[in-house]
Amino acid sequence: MGKLLRALLLQFVALAILAVGVYMARHVFTPPYPVWGLVLMQGGLAALLSWRLPVWWRWIQFLLPLGLYGAWIIQMDPWWSLSVFVVLWLVFANVNKERVPLYLTNSVTRQALRVLAEERAAQQGRMQRFIDLGCGLGGNVCFMSRLPQIERALGVETAPLPYFISRLQAWWRGGEIHAQDLWKVDLSGFDMVYAFLSPEPMPKLWQKVQAEMRAGSVFVSNSFAVPDVAPSQVWELSDRRQTRLYLYEISERPVIPLGDFADD
């Protein structure tokens, strides 16, 4: 069952629990009850029931009833609600399929990528080819395309609105943006592969990285480590998020999962 459907079902379960609770409460507390209190309880119950979902889903579960209640209070025109839904879908179209929200790379992380590109170009004696898997608004691709150490900077994005914005940015500032599923991209032609996704796709992505990336290239994951695989390096950045970049150098030998070193 997809997470979106599961979240909706949990909202209905929370509503059913709340309805039973209100029915029982009338024997102890005289109704009516404050609507805002019931809305908060609905959101809280939905968030608690969603404990097995990622943290950001729990926040959505909590805030959804509050948003609906707020729209009812201000008598929001249904067309505005539809417009908000359409915009959210255009931005977060990948969430249900790929389990990846829109994360934006900050300037501190870009500077770290610049340093990495400089180091690798100096070590290998050649320019680097860079790809951003799920490039969002395209800022990374444009930034990397302007570095003298970068031969080619490419990004792939399928969410409609971020793709449109990233294409505009690339047209103005440089780089290549393609409306392509990251799972269909051939990684063998790139020296630096960067991703800022979520924990959900990391095991599958690591399999793709191992199968396609050439020896001497590097896979960089922002914030989300590959489960049970030791990174070659971990860069801890000085931004407010205290971002960690997990670097996985691709060698001729397959990377051995950490679990294989567990004590007998």
| Cα distance between residue 5 and residue 132, in whole Å | 29
Decide: helix, strand or coil at residue 77.
coil
Q: Which two tokens stand for residue 16?
A: 């059913």
Instruction: Tell me whether residue 26 is in a domain.
Output: yes
The answer, yes or no, to whether residue 143 has pLDDT greater than 60, is yes
Instruction: Tell me whether residue 128 is in a domain.
Output: yes
**Who's near 156: CB < 8 A, 6+ residues apart?**
131, 132, 133, 134, 135, 177, 178, 179, 180, 181, 182, 185
Task: State which residues form the domain around 25.
Answer: 3-76
List the 176-178 sheet strands across, edge first.
176-178, 150-156, 128-133, 192-195, 218-222, 244-249, 233-236
Residue 258: predicted pLDDT: 52
For 161-203, what is each residue's pLDDT tens digit? 888 889 999 999 999 999 988 999 999 999 999 999 888 889 9
Residue 109 parent element (H or E) = helix 107-124
| Cα distance between residue 82 and residue 71, in whole Å | 12
Q: For residues 134 and 78, which has the higher predicted lDDT (pLDDT)?
A: 134
Residue 124: predicted pLDDT: 94
> Which of 28-32, 96-100, 112-116: highest mean pLDDT?
112-116
- Are 152 and 211 members of one domain? yes
- Are 121 and 247 members of one domain? yes
Which CATH number fits the domain that encloses residue 186? 3.40.50.150
Please, what is the average pLDDT of the chain? 84
201: cis peptide before it, omega within 30°?
no
Beta carbons within 10 angstroms of residue 156's beta carbon:
22
Picking from 76, 95, 115, the residue at the C-terminal end of a domain is 76
Phi, psi of 177 (to 5 degrees): -125, 130
Residue 176: predicted pLDDT: 95
Average pLDDT over residues 104-131: 95
**Are 93 and 160 spatial neighbours (Cβ–Cβ below 8 Å)?**
yes
Burial 19-42 (b: 16+ CB within 10 A, else e): eeeeeeeeeeeeeeeeeeebbebb
The answer, yes or no, to whether residue 69 has pLDDT greater than 80, is no
Largest CA distance in the chain: 79
- Are 146 and 210 members of one domain? yes
| Cα distance between residue 172 and residue 179, in whole Å | 18
Reference 235, options 249, 250, 220; nearest CA is 220
**Residue where the block lists tokens 């019931």:** 38
What domain count does the chain have?
Answer: 2
- Are 64 and 177 members of one domain? no
- Are 137 and 187 members of one domain? yes
- Are 22 and 135 members of one domain? no
Q: Which two tokens stand for residue 49?
A: 């029931």
- Are 7 and 128 members of one domain? no
Instruction: Tell me whether residue 210 is in a domain.
Output: yes
